[in-house]
Amino acid sequence: MVRTLTTAVKNELATDSLQPVTLVYIGVGSGSRYTDHYKDITYDSNTYSASSLFTRLSSVSESSEIELVIFLLHLQVQIKQLHLYS
């Protein structure tokens, strides 16, 4: 299968000012999608909400060798305390 890039993508790559973003899917319940970008991003018909939840993201590396990979995603979570009365 031949893969090609659109002219728009080629032009953007030529600017040498790319700023990668992180897209995270958390598959709990109905699932949540977040990005560390400053605005929402739609990718593959899914919207990833801009979020300040990301506090730190470990680096990711590639290798042609078989290896164990550990990827750490640190989230800032606010938990609200509920008071239940009977």
Per residue in 49-71, pLDDT tens? 988 776 566 666 666 777 666 66
61 neighbors 74 (Cβ within 8 angstroms): no
Residue-level pLDDT at 36: 83
Q: How many CA atoms lie within 13 A of 69 on its CB side?
A: 10
Q: Is residue 27 part of a domain?
A: yes
40 neighbors 49 (Cβ within 8 angstroms): yes
Specify the number of domains making up the chain. Answer: 1
The DSSP element (H or E) to which 43 belongs, if any, is strand 41-43
Q: Which domain range does residue 31 map to? A: 21-75
Residue-level pLDDT at 66: 72
pTM of the complete model beyond 0.85 = no
Q: Is residue 10 part of a domain?
A: no
Nearest in space to 70 (alpha carbons), one of 86, 58, 56, 55? 58
Residue-level pLDDT at 38: 85
77 neighbors 52 (Cβ within 8 angstroms): no
Q: Is residue 1 part of a domain?
A: no
pLDDT < 50 regions, the chain: none
Q: Is residue 83 part of a domain?
A: no
Q: Is residue 71 part of a domain?
A: yes
Q: Is residue 64 part of a domain?
A: yes
Q: Is residue 8 part of a domain?
A: no
Q: Is residue 2 part of a domain?
A: no
